[in-house]
Amino acid sequence: MHYPPAVASRVEAARISRWIDRFAAMTEPGHGVTRLAYSPLEREAHALFAAEMTALGLTVKTDAAGNTIAELAPTGDEGDAAEHAPAIGTGSHLDSVPEGGRFDGIAGVVAGMEVARIAVEEDVQRRRPWRFVAFASEEGARFGQACNGSRMIAGLTRSADLHALHDANGVTMAQAMMQVGLAPESVDSARWRADDWFAFVEMHIEQGGVLESKGTPVGIVDTISGSTRLQATLLGQASHTGGTPMRLRKDALVAASECVLACQAIATDPEHHGTRVTVGRLEVFPGSITTIPGKVVFTVDVRDVDSDRQRRTSEALASAFERISAARGTTLAVEVIGDTSPVVLPSWIVDEIAAGAADVGLAYRVLPSGASHDSQQINRVVPAGMIFVPSRDGLSHVPEEFTRAEELADGATVLLRTMVRLDAAA
Ligand code: GLV
Ligand code: MN
Ligand code: MN
């Protein structure tokens, strides 16, 4: 098949860069970008996306879960048959972790905006509807569970579940959604129908250092890691730091510290080789210089591309915490606050992306994703694929997160080519 080279050359790095800047400006004050899941700032970002897509002439709607979906109708005069052909789509998320970067999620949404602009301006021929999606609440940083908007689309999180998920301040996901004008009681209506879709491709920054270290501009994801998230609460006895002899203490922080080291030991044990375990949040109560910590709450994030090992590691961690807590005289409760399996993405989409990269002369390598992504959930309903672009120094979820505009443009070019290919595929 022949693709006009002009289409690829119309991807503009400078325009991509300007959109990245505009989204980055929507942040709470402080370091980096803070635009949390189901916050008013996240909604503002969705409104900006919706306004631009509407201005380009797309039909835009926001579903009950807060996902914004913009549709570009097929071209030509095939009429109803094309209107109802299974769609192809692309998209990513607009929320961030606390003090995160400017690119995680945003890069994929902005690449989609650029593809939409070119499709409209260049009148790129389409046999299928093309959909551009900004997913809601992808980051698990606020509510523990990640990919919430896409999980609701896939029917993996239902209306009734939204009262059980809560943030560190006790605000449930249902409450947070209502506060920003969404409809938690209706999220089951956000589900996508498999027969309405043909394929979905998400562009995202790599969030690791493989592409940069190999000097490869494009990554194609074959597997997305799973994650199990635990929240452990250790209860000891708070008391006076001067009055209580060391041998009589039930110090919850000392027990928690041993648990953190156990995470490191278990993750690096050959039996769990490949698992990534992190304690990213640890709160000490009452948090006073002169009181022995009586309570500690900490989270554990277990990531793996091997689903069996992911769960075995999580169980080994919970058992180790039990042993440590018993030996320290504290009591322990462990709650699973998120659990998602790894996903192998369909090889035919990997092949289409590879062909798209080859069309535009960009080198690629196939690699796994250590991070979670909306495509992981979407793949339950629609065959999905992912395009990665390099992350400088492999950094992500931090203000230093960076990808050059030209690298984003390369990714968007491959995305456009892949959309054209998928549009033509039977
Ligand atoms: C999503 O960004 C994740 O935490 O993997
Ligand atoms: Mn992301
Ligand atoms: Mn992220």
For the stretch 17-65, pLDDT in tens is 999 999 999 999 999 999 999 999 999 999 999 999 999 999 999 999 9
Would the annotation count 93 as a binding residue? yes
Q: Which ligand is nearest to the CA of 205?
A: 2
pLDDT value at residue 270: 94
pLDDT at position 84, please?
A: 84
Ligand nearest to the CA of 398: 3
Check pocket membership of 371 for ligand 1, CB cut-off 6 A: yes
C-alpha–C-alpha distance, residues 195 and 163, integer Å:
30
Distance 372 CA to ligand 1 centre (A): 5
Does the C-beta of 150 come closer than 6 Å to ligand 1? Answer: no
Q: Give pLDDT, residue 70.
A: 98
| Coil, helix or strand at residue 282 | strand
In CATH, what is the architecture of 226-340? 2-Layer Sandwich (3.30)
pLDDT of residue 78: 65
How many CB atoms are located within 10 Å of the residue 186 CB?
Answer: 12
Task: Report how far Cα 133 is from the mean position of its chain's Cα atoms.
Answer: 13
Residues 299 and 279: beta-carbon distance below 8 Å:
yes
Q: What is the pLDDT of residue 8?
A: 56
Q: Cβ distance 341 to 154 under 8 Å?
A: no
Report the sign of the C-alpha dihedral through residues 188, 189, 192, 194, in that order: positive
Per CATH, domain 5-223+343-424 is 3.40.50.720: no
Q: For residue 21, what are its two tokens?
A: 């800047």
Distance CA 49, CA 54 (A): 9
Q: Is 372 in the pocket of ligand 1 (CB under 6 A)?
A: yes
Separation CA 311–CA 316 (nearest Å): 9
Does residue 383 contact residue 346 with C-beta atoms inside 8 Å?
Answer: yes
The annotation status of 139 as a binding-site residue, yes or no, is yes
Q: Residues of the chain whose pLDDT is less than 70? A: 1-9, 78-80
Count Cβ atoms below 10 Å from residue 320 Cβ, excluding itself.
17
Confidence (pLDDT) at 6: 46
Distance 337 CA to ligand 3 centre (A): 17
Distance 205 CA to ligand 2 centre (A): 8
Within 8 A by CB and 6+ apart from 187, the residues are 63, 64, 65, 152, 157, 158, 159, 162
DSSP per position, 99-143: TB-SSTTHHHHHHHHHHHHHHHHTT---SS-EEEEEES---TTTT
Q: What is the CB-side half-sphere exposure of residue 305 using CA atoms within 13 A?
A: 13
Residue 386 CA, ligand 2 centroid: distance in Å? 12
- Residue 397 annotated as binding site: yes
pLDDT at 193: 98
Any residues with CB less than 8 A from the CB of 210 and at least 6 apart, and which? 216, 219, 365, 367, 394
Q: Are strands 130-135 and 87-93 parallel, antiparallel or unpaired?
A: parallel
CB of 307 closer than 8 Å to CB of 113: no
256 within 8 A of 282, measured Cβ to Cβ: yes
Determine whether the shortest distance from the Cβ of 228 to ligand 1 is under 6 A: no
Find, among 139, 150, 238, the residue nearest to 200 by Cα: 150
> Would you state the pLDDT for residue 190?
98
Q: pLDDT tens for residues 253-286?
A: 999 999 999 999 999 999 998 999 999 999 999 9
Rounded-to-integer distance, Cα 411 and Cα 109, Å: 12
3-state secondary structure of 182: coil
pLDDT at 381: 98
Domain ranges across the chain? 5-223+343-424, 226-340
Whether residue 4 is preceded by a cis peptide bond, meaning omega within 30 degrees of 0, is: no
- Looking at residue 2, its pLDDT comes to 44
CA distance 390 to 411: 9
Cβ of 37 less than 6 Å from ligand 1: no
How many Å apart are CA 248 and CA 329, to the nearest integer?
Answer: 10
